[in-house]
Amino acid sequence: MGVLEEFTGPLSQQFSQLSTASQAGIAVVGVVLISVIVNVLQQILFKNPNEPPVVFHWFPIIGSTITYGMDPPRFFHEMRAKYGDIFTFILLGKKTTVYVGPAGNDFILNGKLKDVSAEDIYTVLTTPVFGKDVVYDCPNSKLMEQKKFMKVALTTPAFQKYVPIIADEVTSYFKKCPDFKGQSGVANIPKNMAELTIFTASHSLQGKEVRSRFDEGIAALYHDLDMGFTPVNFMLHWVPLPWNARRDRAQRTIANIYMDIIKERRAKGNNDGSEDIMWHLMNATYKNGVKVPDHEVAHMLIALLMAGQHSSSSTSAWIMLRLASRPDITEALYREQVEALGEDLPPLTYEDLAKLPLNQNIIKETLRLHAPIHSILRAVKSPMQVPGTKYVVPTSHQLLAAAGVSATDPKYFPEPDLWEPTRWNKDSPIAPSVVQDAAAEEEKIDYGYGLVSKGANSPYLPFGAGRHRCIGEQFANLQLQVITAMIVRMFKFRNVDGSNRVIGTDYASLFSRPLEPANIHWEKRNW
């Protein structure tokens, strides 16, 4: 009997005496152990000097998914401190290369069409929600044309009409909402902000007909549609699970509602003078001479409302939570309006917004600390050489841009964790010098939907950069400024315990938002 057999013989005898379940359990533990050892050895022994460093992880496939998912910004900051601006981590089995800082944002967001693709990543999630033939369910050149059509309706004359619509929605919402009965109370503010965002966006962007349907059940359908945006759907989008069935039904129903409205408008001659976004899309023609079909108009309308909903509602919730933590700023905002617009606070106009710099800076500063999109992903289509390094990112990787990292970097923003809207005043001791200089001399580029700044030097990109840059930026700014200005006219806020604490962030969905309940104490001014 060999030495090895002397040891293994009794062991294998004992193993064969165990129940089948115990044997299976031991086998699984063995396989996991071996895969952990192989995985660790691979990381130590087979480092590829031509690829970015890989974040150390014990388990294959799981990799760093859990640490990343719990708090992406913290993960980025910690890994950057360990590995530098560019590193790779395993996200659900996929090698994901993160490149932070302005150079990284530029590398990923301004990547060439032949090198990077957004649609390869996002279509599984967005196509069932928006519908076929739009956004990521079509070639990029078609998306660029669609963005151009959508942008046409987001111009100054349209904005001048939107301001009173949004302002009236805010006033009537708080007058009717049962959460705000009486003179003071406590409210879980993100829920109210989500409702207010969809009412104001649907009314201004999509007109009275669509807005009125929100009082008649379309809100519940949009909620079902929204369930399609859960992160597990990156993998389970096709599985006939109850939430996916509800998503598909809601998509069909909402698209039909829009198509009925389009038909009615066409029957009436589509000439009621409203010239809203639906009107613009109904009259748009692709470069190849094809008129935009009705189902594409409907799907673009869904995409527009959905694209803005999460970002704007989460931002407005953060604004209210920040104001509750800093009642001094709420009062400064109120005084700003009285001084700029008059004691009687007349109905708000588009032109008034430019007279309220603090009100504008509230949005800027809130987006700096609470950008709703913490990670932007791209598939790599051809090997990409990282300028100034020896690294080449292969097509087996995906790229991840996290613009929030530079927006909270002390190199660009002194006291980066402090929410201080006045930092955006040029003479502030904590002013972000680089952002303002960069904005002045920024390079502009046209990807097919009008000139946009490349943002290549800017550490502050809450609306992204490149061909997929947000087209809703001006609308979102307008909507958030009007909502903030109107709420400040109506309420004083403070934290329930009187502290200046701010609640943590919920990263469980695709968009970061406040953890709920996020209660604040409200008190009505004189109304």
Annotated binding-site positions for heme: 470
DSSP state of 54: B
Sole binder of ligand HEM in the list 127, 200, 312, 505 (CB under 6 A): 312
x/- mask, ligand HEM, residues 164-203, rule CB under 6 A, reads ----------------------------------------
Closer CB to ligand HEM, 401 or 438, in the complex:
401
Q: Does 459 bind ligand HEM (CB under 6 A)?
A: no
Residue spans of alpha helices (H) in 345-445: 350-353, 357-369, 404-407, 433-440
Residues 55 and 397: their CA atoms lie apart, in Å, by: 14
Query: Which region, left, alpha or beta, applies to residue 57 given φ > 0 means left and ψ of -120 to 50 means alpha?
Result: beta
119 to 158: interface string for ligand HEM, x by CB under 6 A: ------------------------x---x-----------
Per the DSSP assignment, residues forming a β-bridge with 445 are 452
421 binds ligand HEM (CB under 6 A): no
Is position 254 an interface residue for ligand HEM (rule: CB under 6 A)?
Answer: no
Q: 152, 275 in Cβ contact below 8 A? A: no
Tokens representing residue 55 in the block: 């974040």
Q: Does 317 help bind ligand HEM (rule: CB under 6 A)?
A: no
Residue with smaller CB distance to ligand HEM, 471 or 503? 471
Under the binding rule (CB under 6 A), the answer on residue 458 touching ligand HEM is no
Tell me which stretch binds ligand HEM (CB under 6 A): 98-106, 303-311, 349-357, 405-413: 303-311
The answer to whether residue 304 forms part of the interface with ligand HEM (CB under 6 A) is yes
Which amino acid appears at position 398 of this protein?
Q
Using CB under 6 A, pick the residue from 214, 475, 507, 522 that binds ligand HEM.
475
Structure tokens at 505: 């962030």
Nearer to ligand HEM, 39 or 408 (CB): 408
Helices (H), 463-514: 473-490
Backbone dihedral region of 184: left (phi > 0), alpha (psi from -120 to 50 degrees) or beta?
beta
449 in helix, strand or coil? coil
For the record, the structure tokens of 401 come out as 């841009």
Q: How far is 256 from 253, CA to CA, in rounded Å?
A: 5
Residue bearing tokens 């928006």: 130
H-state helical runs in 214-241: 218-226, 233-236
Closest to ligand HEM by CB, 197 vs 495, is: 197
Q: Computed from CA positions of residues 428, 429, 435, 441, in that sequence, does the dihedral angle turn out positive or negative?
A: positive
- Give me the 345-384 binding string for ligand HEM, x by CB under 6 A, dash otherwise: ----------------------x---xxx--x--------
**DSSP-assigned letter for residue 345:** -
**Smallest distance from ligand HEM to CB 285, Å:** 19
Q: In whole angstroms, what is the distance from residue 423 CA to residue 76 CA? A: 24
Residue 308 binds ligand HEM, judged by CB under 6 A: yes
> Rounded to the nearest whole angstrom, what is the least distance from the CB of residue 161 to ligand HEM in the complex?
15
Q: Is 229 in the site for ligand HEM (CB under 6 A)?
A: no
Q: To the nearest whole angstrom, how small is the minimum distance from the Cβ of residue 502 to ligand HEM?
A: 18
Q: Could you tell me which stretch among 238-246, 338-346, 383-391, 464-472 binds ligand HEM (CB under 6 A)? A: 464-472
Rounded least distance, CB 384 to ligand HEM, Å: 17
Distance CA 508, CA 474 (A): 28
Q: By the criterion CB under 6 A, which residues form the site for ligand HEM? A: 118, 143, 147, 304, 307-308, 311-312, 315, 367, 371-373, 376, 462-464, 468-472, 475-476
